[in-house]
Every structure is written in structure tokens, then in C-alpha cells.
A and B are shown apart, each in its own frame.
Chain A
Amino acid sequence: MDESGTLVASPPRSAKLQVEGLSAYYGSKQVIQDLSIDFDDKSVTAIIGPSGCGKSTFIRCLNRIHETVPRARATGRVLLDGEDVYTIDPVRVRRRVGMVFQKPNPFPTMSIYGNVASGLRLNGVRKPALVQERVIRSLKQAAMWDEVKEHLDAPGVSLSGGQQQRLCIARALAVEPEVLLMDEPCSALDPIATSKIEDLIFDLKRDYAVIIVTHNMQQAARVADKTAFLYLGKLIEYGDTKEIFERPKVKLTESYITGRFG
């Protein structure tokens, strides 16, 4: 009850992203089948499933990168804070829903500084002081400021693989997204670089909704609050990561996570 005596319902824990009846196609081939799922804000969700089940395609629908592939299309709704991203300008969607790819892909001709600043310029942030402030903050958020602050002018590609991936995360964070999509961000990295990225993901969930595709079960178990299992373009099981890994409800999930099918 509030002061006026009316009943105030506690606000339901709102989903940051709500996917409703999403289907995705390459030409006539359907690879995501009428999929619905909600993603929590300020938490990490892992998406697991065998290769080719549609994980990448699925998350690429969430920030409308999927439709940039020739003959690719998607139907259904993706609500970002309740607003369908398919009614928002795709450039704005991609600013609000950032993405990090499997292979670190810093812009090869650009310096470390230039890489992080590039997204800002694209999004109209031009004041040098503001750009600098955002670059520094993003590099700090990506836990690599101390490693690179002495040589911001060095080419981004001169960094190690793990550093390059954190640079890409910094670049994604610079435009202040609300959701961060990561597609197998550690699959090209050694265990130490992987641990650093996992620590980073742990910190990032304080501020963002993080959705990570991984084929590493243990990584999903380590970093994610919730886990979704996809198979043949369908959502088979979705729940708290602890439940999924201790007592999955669906036999198919059990077979997959125990490594009993390839």
C-alpha cells in the first residue's frame, strides 16, 4: 500500500529483450523456428547448442545484423524495453544492442585508440574531449587500460588475441549499448585470455544484459545466470544455469550437456 492507500504491485522483473515467435531464413531455408524467449536485464544468458543449430543466426536477429546477409530475413517480434526493434532504425538498434564476434576483428588500419573511437564517430560523437573520455572509460571497462595506456597509437592488430578481443569489447561498449551480444567470444583464445574475458563478463552484467553464445559447456556454467539450449532452430530448454546443469528436464538437453551426442 502506498500513502494514498492504493495497492501498489511490485513491478514484475522486466525482461530487457522479449523475443516473440521469431523465425529466420536464408532464402527459403528456415533456420530459426518460431522461437520465443525473454532475456533479463543486468544478467548473463548463455545460448548453447550443437554447431549449425542456429545460435549465431538467432542472436544476429536481435540487433538486425541477420538481415544484412543477402536473401536473409526474419519474422516475429524482438522487443527491446517493449519496443519492437524491427520498427526502429537499424543503426540505432545496433548502437543499443552491441555485438562481439568469435574472431577478434579490430579495424586493421586503425590504432588502439582509433578502434575504440570509431564507433563513437559513426554515432555522431565528435567532440574530442568527449571522445577521449569515452575511449578511456571503455578501455577501463574492458579491463585493458593499464595494458595499453602507454601505447594507444599502436595498431590494434599488434595486440595479442585476447587483448584484441577485449579491444573489440571496448569498441562495443564505447557507444554505451544496453545489451551486449557475444558470439563465441573466447573460442580463439587461450585459457588465460578466456579467464580474463569471463571476469570481464562478470563485471559487465552489473550494467548490461549480456547474451553469450558458447560451445563450451563449462563456460556457460561459469558465467551465465540462465542458459538456453537450442537444437535445430528451436528452443528446447531454458532456465537457471544451475538447474540446467544439475537437473535438466529434457532428455535432449541432458544428452547434449553430458557430451553424449555430437
Chain B
Amino acid sequence: MPERVERKAFGEGLVQLNQHTVEMAGLAQRAVRMAVDSLVHRNDDRAKEVFLLDREIYRLQRAVEGECTDLIALFAPVARDLRTVMTVLKISTDIDRIGRGARNIAEVSLELSQVKQKSPKLDKISRNADLAIHMVDQSVRAFVEGNDRTVREMGRFDDEVDTLYREIFSDVLAGLNDRTIKPEVGVRLILINRHIERIADHAVNIANRVVYLVSGEAPPPVSRMVNGESGLTGAPGLAPAPPPSEPRADAEAGSGAAPADDSPSKAATGDRKPE
């Protein structure tokens, strides 16, 4: 067997990337947790803390992007080294989106706390958020361990999230119909429902990237719905199909379902980034 050589400088760069990725993921999970807490407990302070976390996640994501660029420029990585850098680049975007999802939930939660109505039961939303957070945790853990075994069952969790997503949608719709939920509350719950479902989708993305990292297999193709097929515009009384499972940056920014960009709370919380 040939003599082994460590590539020290490159190795240190990878360690740094790993640390930043793990740090980002930890913050993102905390942000989602706090956002949902702020909703359930009507706690505005907690919602505002989510904005800080989200900003920190964004800062780390920019740092990671720069580190990836440096490693590519300086070391021209190949094989698993290359796949590692590419994977970090992609999953850091997913983690950033998870942070943004948390921010969006916190924003809606702040708006909801202005509405004078006793909050409807939120335990399903809370449960779905737990599932999504668990998925993020699993997929990031798989990345850290360089092990794609655990994430190959991510689809099962994603199905659970999708099922709950549909149930929540129907529940809210029913509440709107029988007027136990005010429209200004129901609409916002539907938005939050959607944000949580998307966070789970990002976890699936991360899992797929880990499979690529470990095996070199290309991530599985994702079926994309065409404009207009998207769930939220479904006929009344019908639970919508969940949106396509790999979110797209442009779709997200342009989609009518993403309220954050023109939400009034944005100015109050400080602008995060141009989108």
C-alpha cells in the first residue's frame, strides 16, 4: 500500500466547514423551535429572538460560501473532497432557508398575537414542527458522520409531515367554514403550516445531498409541479397536495405563499438580505 499523505491545509479547511455547518444547523433547529413556541405561547419576545438567530444563520451561510470558494480556488478538490465542498455549499443554502422559514413563522406569530381571538388548538402544528426539526437533526447528523444509511428513510418522515400538513389544512378550512376560526387567524395558520412543511422538504434535500456525498450517486430527480397546480389554490374543502418536495429559490421568492417579503414586520425587525 502506498504511503499516506495528509493534506493539512485542506484538511483544516474542511474541519472549519464542518464546524460552521453544524453550528448553522444547530441555530436553525433552535430558531424553528422558538418560532413555534412563540406561536403556541403567544410570546413576542421569543419571536423577536428568532430574527436574531436567522440573521446569524445568514451570516454563517455567507462565511461558508466564502470558505467553499476559497477551497475550490486554492486546492481544486476532486472526488470525495469535491463532493464534500459541493455538499456543504448546497446544504448551507438549505439550512439558511430553514432559518428563513423560522423567521417567517415568527413574523406570522407576531401578527397573530395582535388578533383578539383565543387561539385554536395548535398541537398538530406543534407536532409537525417537531417532526420537521427531527428530520433536520437526522440529516445534519448524517452529514457530520458521513453516513447515508439513516437518511435513506427520510422519505418516511416526510410522508408523515405531508399527511399532517393535509390534516391541518382541512382542520383550518373546517374551522373557517363553521366560523370557529376567524379568517385573519385561519389564513395565517395555513401559512405557518406551509412553512413547516417546507422546512421538512429542506431536510429531505440535505439528506439527498448526503447520499451524493457518500456514494457519488446523483440526488434523485424531483417531480416539479407546473404553475397553477400548487396546493394552496385547491378547491374549497379539498386538502391540497403538498407542494413539490424540493423548494426552489426562485419559486420561493416569487410564490404568493411566502408572505415574508412584503410583511410589515420586516421593516421593524431589520432587513436581512436582498432577495
Residues of chain A having any CB pair with chain B under 8 Å:
50, 217-218, 221, 231, 245-248, 252-262
Contact = CB atoms under 8 A, between A and B. Distances in A.
Interface string B2-29: 1111110000000000000000000000
Interface of B: 2-7, 76-83, 216
A117 B204 CA distance: 64
A260 B216 contact: no
A174 B77 CA distance: 38
A150 B212 CA distance: 56
Given A246-B83, A247-B83, A247-B216, A257 B78 contact: yes
Given A245-B78, A245-B79, 14 more contacts: A217-B76, A217-B78, A231-B2, A252-B2, A253-B79, A254-B80, A258-B77, A258-B80, A259-B7, A260-B5, A260-B7, A261-B2, A261-B3, A261-B4
A262 B6 CA distance: 10
Nearest to A254: B79
Contacts of B80: 254, 258
Contacts of B76: 217-218
A221 B78 contact: yes
Q: Main SS of the interface on chain A?
A: helix
B247 to A, nearest CB: 25
Nearest to B78: A245
Contacts of A261: 2-5
A262 B216 contact: no
Contact of B78 (A50, A231, A252, A258): A258
Contacts of A257: 78-79
A245 B82 contact: yes
Contacts, number: 46
A226 to B, nearest CB: 16
Contact of B7 (A218, A221, A248, A258): A258
Which 10 A-B pairs rank lowest in CB-CB distance, beginning with the nearest? A247-B216, A261-B2, A245-B78, A254-B79, A257-B78, A262-B5, A258-B81, A258-B79, A248-B79, A218-B76
B2 A262 contact: yes
A92 to B, nearest CB: 40
Contact of B216 (A218, A246, A255): A246
B139 to A, nearest CB: 21
A52 B199 CA distance: 53
Contacts of A245: 78-79, 82
Contacts of A231: 2
A256 B5 CA distance: 10
B3 A262 contact: yes
A68 to B, nearest CB: 31
B179 to A, nearest CB: 58
Contacts of B216: 246-247
11 contacts: A218-B76, A246-B78, A247-B216, A252-B2, A254-B80, A255-B2, A257-B79, A258-B78, A258-B81, A259-B5, A260-B4
Contacts of B77: 258
Contacts of B81: 258
Contacts of B83: 246-247
A219 B83 CA distance: 20
A164 B3 CA distance: 37
> Which of B2, B76, B77, B82 has the most A CB atoms < 10 Å from its CB?
B2
A1 to B, nearest CB: 35
A120 to B, nearest CB: 41
Contacts of B7: 258-260
A221 to B, nearest CB: 7
B6 to A, nearest CB: 7
A255 to B, nearest CB: 7
Nearest to B80: A254
B272 to A, nearest CB: 34
Contacts of A50: 2
A252 B4 CA distance: 11
A246 B79 contact: yes
Nearest to A246: B82
A42 B98 CA distance: 49
A254 B215 CA distance: 13
Contacts of A260: 4-7
A47 B76 CA distance: 19
Contacts of A256: 2
Contacts of B82: 245-246
A50 B78 CA distance: 17
A252 B5 CA distance: 13
Contacts of B5: 259-262
Contacts of B78: 217, 221, 245-246, 257-258
A259 B80 CA distance: 12
B116 to A, nearest CB: 58
A248 B79 CA distance: 6
Contacts of B2: 50, 231, 252, 255-256, 261-262
